[in-house]
Amino acid sequence: MGKKTPDPGPPLARGALPWLLLVALATIAPHADHLPPWLSLLAAGLLAGRLWLWHGQRRLPARWLLVLLVVGGSAGIAAEYRTLFGRDAGVALLVLFMALKPMELRTQRDALVILMLGYFLLLTHYFYSESIPTGLWLLAAATLLTATLVRLHGGPQPLARSARLGGLLLAQALPFMLILFLLFPRIAGPLWGLPQDAHAGQSGLSDRMAPGTLSELIQSGNIAFRVQFAGAIPEKSELYWRGPVFDDYDGLTWRAGNRAARAGSRPQIEASGRRFDYVSTLEAHNQRWLLALDLPLTLPPDARLSATFESLTREPVQKRVRLAFTSAPDFRANVVETQALLENALRLPPDVNPRARTLAAEWRVLPPEKIADSALALFRREAFFYTLRPPLLGPHAMDEFLFDTRHGFCEHYASAFVFLMRAAGVPARVVAGYQGGELNPIDGFLTVRQSDAHAWAEIWIAGRGWLRIDPTAAVAPSRIERGIAAALPQGEALPVFARLDADWLRAMRNRWEAVDNAWNQWVLGYNPQRQKEVLAQLGMANPDWRSMTTLLAILCAAALALVTAWTLYRRPPGDPAQRAWQRFCRRLGRLGVRRAAWEGPADFANRVARERPEWGPLASEAAQHYAALRYGKGTPDNLERLRACAARLPLRWRQQT
C-alpha cells in the first residue's frame, strides 16, 4: 500500500482571506521605517498581488516560484545585513515569510500559521520603539489578530461582532497581565532588546569636543534627562549639569586627560549654602557619566566621583535609569590639588595660535583672578557674536576665532578662554554638559533636552580651588537666563523645537511629555528597584521569591475565578419570545419538571402532561405560542399569551397532603 497523504484540513473560507491580508499588513507596516526599501516594496507587492488573485479567483503561483522568492529574498537580506542572524536580519526574514505565506494560503491550517506568525511579529516592534504610539498600534493589531481568529473559527459574521469578541477576549486577559507585570521578578535591562543592539541610535554628549560639536547637538529637541526635585528648584543660572571634563588639547579637539594624572587626586568638596535632593531619569547615551547638578555631594550606588568631579558608573549607560543625587551649587572644590593635574591643566600644543599666546603673555604679570577678568572683558568689549553657524576654522583655530571671525558657539568661547588661561599660566580645563532646563507644569519634572547642551570653563586658583567660569555668559547672558532661543541673533534660524511660540502648542507638548514621562517611569522604568518600592507600599517590605510566588499564585487564582464566574453566569440577552419561554420553563422546574437542553417545546409539553397532568394543558398552550413565535408567523398576541402562561404558574411547589 502507498503512503497515506496527510489530511491538509478543511479549506479556507473565501471571506476569511481579506482578514488575513489585513493582519499581515498591520504587523508588517511599522517595520517599514527601518527595513531596506526593496524589502518593504517586495512585501507590499506580494500582499497586493495576493489580493488581486483573490478578487479575480485566479490560481495561486506555482511552488517553484515561491521557492525562488524565498531564496532570492533570503539572499538579499544576507547581502543587506551581512548575516542571517541577529535582530535586524531576523526581523527582516520574518517580514519576508509573512508576506510570502498568503501566496500558498489554501486551508485553515495555513491561516493559523499566519496568525501565530503575526502574534510573534508584534513582539519584534518593541526592539525598535517602546513609545506609547507603538503600544497603541500593537494593541489594535492584537485585537485585529484575535478578531480574525474568531472569524476563522466562527464563520461569517458582522465585522463589529468579531471585533467586539476579539476585544472581549483580550480584556479578560487584562487582570492577569497586570498581576504578572507587578509581581513577576524584574530583570535588570531594557524591557525589550538584544544586548548587541541595546545602545543603537543613542545620542548625546561625546567623549571629545571640537568646534561645531555642540552646535550640531543643539539642533535636537530630544530629551536628555528629566529631574524631579524634592523641594525648591535652583535658579536657572545655577542649573549646570556636569558631564565630561576635557583637559587635553591637540590644537583642534579637546579630550579627557590621561588617567594616570587623574588617578592621584581625591575630590575634596566643601559645600556651603543650600543643598538640593533630586531624582534624575537619565536617557541612555552609551557613556559613563551621569550628568549631575554641579557639584554632587552624594551619588547613586555603584557610582563614583572622579578626580575632575565627573559622576561615573562602571559601565556605559545603555538603558534609561533613575538616579538619586544631592548637590550643592555653592562649593569649594580641591583647594589643594595634585601637581600632576595642575600640570595637565597647563599643557598646550606647541607652535599653534601665536597671536593668542602673545596676548596671554601680556597678562602673566596679573593675579589669576585678574587674568580671568581680562579674558572676559575681551569678550564683552570686542564685537563677538553668539551663533549656531560659525565659520570654519583653520590650523590656528583660536587665533582665527579671537581676532578674525569672532562668531562662535559655547564650545568656541570655552575653548578660547581655557587656551588663554593656560597660555597666561593659569590651570584651566573645559567642562561639557547641559545648562538650564524647562519645568513641565503638568507633572513638575524639569526637562533637559539635547538642545541645552553647553560648555564652560574651570580655572584653579590657590586657596580657592576650582572655579566655574562661563565665557558664553560674557557674550550672550540671555543664553544662561532664558535659553538658546533668546541668545541667537535676530534672523538666525531656530531649531525646530524652539519655534513653539504659541501657548497652546507648548501646552500640548507639555501634556504629551507628561504622559510619556509617566509611561517611562511606571512601565518602561519598572525595574527591580521600582518593583521593590511598589511592593513596599503594598506591605511587602522585604519580598523574596517565595512570598512573591505565593502572592502571584493567589492573585492569579482569584482573577481566574472571577473571569470564570463572569463567563459562566453571563447570559446573552436573547429575544422576547425566548426570554418568556425560559421564564415559563424555570417556573415549571421549581414545580419539579425540568426541561432538558435538547427538548423541543412539543416534547417538553408531552412530558409535563405525563409527569404532572395538572399542568399539562398549560404547558401545551405555552408550547404552541412559543412554536408560533420561533418557527411560524407569530404575533404580539402570541407573546402576551406566552407571558400570561408563565404568570399563571405558582412561584414554588407546595407538597400536596
Same domain, 225 and 122: no
- For residue 261, how many other CB atoms are within 10 A of its CB? 21
3-state helix, strand, coil split of the chain in percent (to 5) is 55, 15, 35
Same domain, 104 and 214: no
- Looking at 121, 156, 191, the residue that finishes a domain is 156
Query: 299, 272, 285: which is closest to 432 by C-alpha?
Result: 285
Q: Report phi then psi at 634, rounded to 5.
A: -70, 160
Same domain, 348 and 430: yes
Residue 86 lies in a domain: yes
Same domain, 223 and 354: yes
Same domain, 607 and 483: no
User: Hey, is 495 helix, strand or coil?
Assistant: coil
Residue 128 lies in a domain: yes
Side-chain half-sphere exposure of 101, counting CA atoms within 13 A:
25
Same domain, 331 and 243: yes
Q: Which residues carry out catalysis?
A: 410, 454, 470
- Looking at 156, 172, 197, the residue that finishes a domain is 156
Same domain, 268 and 121: no
Residue 22 lies in a domain: yes
Q: Which of 137-146, 210-219, 390-399, 401-410 has the lowest mean pLDDT?
A: 210-219
Residue 657 has pLDDT above 50, yes or no: no
Same domain, 402 and 480: yes
Residue 83 lies in a domain: yes
- Looking at 466, 490, 514, the residue that finishes a domain is 490
Residue 50 lies in a domain: yes
What are 403-419's pLDDT values in tens digits? Answer: 998 888 888 999 999 99
Angle (nearest 5°) at CA 13 between 10 and 19 = 125
Same domain, 60 and 146: yes
> How many domains, the chain?
3
Same domain, 126 and 229: no
Same domain, 128 and 235: no
Query: 393, 236, 229: which is closest to 326 by C-alpha?
Result: 229
Domain extent at residue 69: 14-156
Give the amino acid at 510.
N
Residue 389 lies in a domain: yes
For residue 645, the model assigns a pLDDT of: 92
Same domain, 342 and 485: yes
Residue 637 lies in a domain: yes
Whole-prediction pTM = 0.71
Residue 26 has pLDDT above 80, yes or no: yes
Distance, CA of 299 to CA of 327 (rounded, Å): 9
Beta pairing partners, 321: 282
Please state whether 9 falls in left (phi above 0), alpha (psi between -120 and 50) or beta. Answer: left
Distance, CA of 158 to CA of 172 (rounded, Å): 22
Residue 169 lies in a domain: no
What are 238-288's pLDDT values in tens digits? Answer: 999 999 999 899 888 998 876 655 665 678 899 988 999 999 999 988 899
DSSP 646: H
What burial letters (b/e) apply to 213-251, b meaning 16+ CB within 10 Å?
bbbebbebeebbbbbbbeeebbeeebbbbbbbbbbbbee
Distance, CA of 341 to CA of 247 (rounded, Å): 9
Distance, CA of 59 to CA of 52 (rounded, Å): 11
The mean pLDDT value of the chain amounts to: 85
